[in-house]
Chains A and B, each alone.
Chain A
């Protein structure tokens, strides 16, 4: 890892050469600056930072620890820095791809879908490999993972086998047959990378997103997550494409307000860092969804 760090962090050729002489990289593991750069874009588009960094408590970057509260218990995003003990430094690229695709840890154990492999399964090989290259190039942090705090029976990982059989369809993203390249790109950004539905699609009793209510808005914690389908009254049907693009870019709504909380974070970490073309693709795709009339009401204050 030290090699990777020096390689990416230093422009001094001599240093890189010296490091290379000390520890020649294994075949196929040569850090590729272009892959790391592309991987950074995938990292942003996939919104990895939010769950894997305890930003609120100023925790070290990607070293995990953020608490994700769900009806099943509290999950803590793990350390995904290249630390070999506490992070994913001892993982292989193949294991990383399998985690994204199938929701499995390095040892084959089942990950919980708080990690949105249900969305990331659609990631292309090329993007997943670039993301891997980027993560490998980040500083290692030796910070132990916090255990999840789950009630019985949700703490039984093996039960995920049944859950996956019922609710999970693995595989690279397959867009609908007809759409334009822009709609395909939008669908990929929304469904595979951005995992927007993890918050904007309501879940069933088992915590799986409901296919019949895709992007129709949901109640999350004590807040209402808006309906993103083009329904004119309860969704985004009355928004202009420009207004939607602006919200993704700066967080500003047509009222001159700025989104806060989780969506504020998404704008800062993800949508605000995308290209304009990608933001437009997201908006075009959302506007192409079947409109679903669903007014999300904020739960009454406790």
Chain B
């Protein structure tokens, strides 16, 4: 590779990095409602991607990073529901702050379900991956049923 190309690639990488750091920073400083919405959107995209793989019944490797992303998102999810973030443009149920312990437990069990899916995707048995994906979906639904308003 010629040196200018290398430099261009480096510059592009730097821009991406700065962009990413900037985004992280703005997410950290922004309001919790926007943060958790971005996080849930990221989960949705990952679930969508996983469903495509599961439906295709092919190799399960592409599920691994997506499941890992969901697990990592969910690990920090409860932190994005600080007291006082129940009003505004949000579908979060006020019940979250009444039953914070249970809400956190549901978050933890969803995190565990995502990690289980990640592990089974690494092993590569498509039937197990499909079952674990179903379980994760149930876990998502269980929390939304209780704590997400329509």
Contact = CB atoms under 8 A, between A and B. Distances in A.
A255 B48 contact: yes
Contact of A261 (B45, B137, B140, B148): B148
A246 B146 CA distance: 20
Q: Interface on chain B toward A: helix, strand, loop, or mixed SS?
A: helix
A267 B141 contact: yes
Contacts of A255: 44, 48
B137 A260 contact: no
B48 A223 contact: no
Contact of B48 (A224, A251, A256): A256
B45 A258 contact: no
A257 B140 CA distance: 9
B142 interface: yes
A100 to B, nearest CB: 27
Interface residues of A, number: 21
B147 A260 contact: yes
Nearest to B66: A256
Contacts of B144: 251, 258-261, 264
B80 interface: no
Nearest to A255: B44
Interface in A194-226: 223-225
Nearest to A251: B141
Given A223-B150, A250-B134, A252-B51, A259 B141 contact: yes
Interface residues of B, number: 24
B149 A256 contact: no
A273 to B, nearest CB: 12
Interface string A246-278: 100011101111111111110110000000000
A236 B51 CA distance: 21
A164 B136 CA distance: 45
A257 to B, nearest CB: 5
Contact of B51 (A256, A265, A267, A268): A256
A205 B56 CA distance: 49
Interface of B: 40, 43-49, 51, 91, 93, 134, 137-138, 140-142, 144-150
11 contacts: A251-B140, A251-B141, A254-B48, A256-B44, A258-B137, A260-B150, A261-B144, A263-B150, A264-B141, A264-B146, A264-B148
Given A223-B149, A246-B51, 5 more contacts: A225-B150, A251-B140, A256-B46, A260-B149, A264-B145
Interface of A: 223-225, 246, 250-252, 254-265, 267-268
